[in-house]
Amino acid sequence: MRSNRFPRLAPVISLLALLAACAPGAPDGARGSNGGAAVVRVPQDTASVQRAVDQVRPGGLVLVSPGVYRESVTVSKPRVVLRGTERSTVVVDGEFERSNGITVTGAGSVVENLTVRNHLANGVLFTGVTDERLQSGGAGGSAYDPLDTVKFPPLKGFRASYVTAYDNALYGIYAFDARSGVIERSYASGHADSGIYVGQCRPCDTVVRDNTVEHNAVGLEVTNASERLYLLGNRAVRNRVGLTLNSNDLEALGPQHGAVVAGNVLSDNNDDRSPEQADGGFGIGIGSGGGRDNVIERNLVTGNRSAGVLLSDVQGYPARGNTVRGNRVTANGTDLVLSTGAPAANCFTGNAESTSSPAGLSDLAPCGRSTRAERPVPAEPGTGRAPLGRPHPVQAPPGISFQDVPAPPPQPNLPAAATATARPATGLPGRVDPGSFPLPASAGAR
């Protein structure tokens, strides 16, 4: 799902001087080997989050006390941990004037336990793109050409934990041209494209887990992000679309392939009080356009008016090799939908569905040992072609401005945020066990 109303923005990134002065109020009084402070406190040592980031050493901690910080922040040093002491009251506010809240280009850096809101592009952006490539139009924005992955190698190592992002025009937490990361225990609402987005990485080596996304155009979005990518134990509820897996030519590294989607709740994604997305998707739990070799298992997909799980071809990218198994897909407009010219190239089993299109989908495209392409598929009467599934028709209602989505309630804090040891984003994502994320018992589970 892509929004044409707000074109994709390149990160707003400046070349920052690396200031060497030690913050005088740093608790340990330590000066790093590179001349920066080990810990810089805001506002005790400096009133600006950006100045604190400039003063901290690589591998240091910026600790921000409650307040509304009306600035954009760029973290270009490696292994910096930027942390709020109180998640809901440490706020980076764009005032609907600035593009990005926090942009991270420093390898192994972390954003945790704070809120980003009211930006014209993204709340938190992790990226290996380190130049400004801005054009006029849209939300003050620009569009990426397909990325030169040699000129701009991916950011390696990133983490967002206990972040609240709301009412940003495009994405809440956005990882683009970034790998070896974790997005966890975060919340995103009120975004005109998606709450959490992972795009253009191969291999991604990234985990998106235990997040809640609601009241967005799309809750969780993946585009041209492939291999060792895991979306586990998230709740995507009351968006217009819950989760998408997309291939396209607007970004490099297509087709999207090799993601694991397990143990998530995708419920009631029919929210008419959410920002409208230009592509018009509405009432879909999981939608995959041209994704390949993805595994969708043990998810609860319910109450989505158009389709529970929808796999479809997109121009130049047929849906192939996807496995949909062991999900509970019930009470949707149509539970399972397969709209592809080669339905037997995907497989479905054990999904507890009531309805499917084409009918009998689990028999038409079962999972088993035989080569999927060799399975005979009856032609659609009168066409000579394989049957194309169709979601239940739903008229998408008008949405609202991203600026008008209500602020969320306070979210859980990082334990002992004021004193916990800083953990840079190195060695991530670590061991990943999708099997430890069971089928949720109810839509309220996470």
Q: Which residue has the higher pLDDT, 32 or 24?
A: 32
- pLDDT given at position 380: 57
Dump pLDDT digits (tens) for 130-188: 865 532 222 223 445 566 777 889 999 999 999 999 999 999 999 999 999 999 999 99
- Give the three-class secondary structure for 345: helix
> Does residue 295 lie within any of the structural domains?
no
Task: Report the alpha-carbon distance of residue 183 to residue 167 in Å, rounded.
Answer: 19
How far from 49 is each of 45, 92, 246, 392, CA to CA, in Å?
10, 9, 35, 49
Which structural domain, as residue segments, surrounds residue 206?
Answer: 1-227
> What is the average pLDDT across 188-192?
97
> Does residue 435 lie within any of the structural domains?
no
> Does residue 425 lie within any of the structural domains?
no
- pLDDT given at position 139: 27
- In this predicted structure, the answer to whether residue 371 has a pLDDT above a threshold of 50 is no
> Does residue 433 lie within any of the structural domains?
no
Q: Which residues contact 55 (CB under 8 A, 6 or more apart)?
A: 19, 21, 22, 23, 36, 37, 40, 45, 46
> Does residue 394 lie within any of the structural domains?
no
Task: Report the alpha-carbon distance of residue 102 to residue 75 in Å, rounded.
Answer: 8
> Does residue 258 lie within any of the structural domains?
no
Task: Kindly report the number of other CB atoms within 10 A of residue 322's CB atom.
Answer: 24
> Does residue 104 lie within any of the structural domains?
yes
> Does residue 338 lie within any of the structural domains?
no
* 7 prior amide bond cis, ω within 30: no
- In this predicted structure, the answer to whether residue 290 has a pLDDT above a threshold of 70 is yes
Q: Where residue 88 falls among pLDDT bands split at 50, 70, 90?
A: very high
Domain count, the chain: 1
> What is the average pLDDT across 408-425?
98
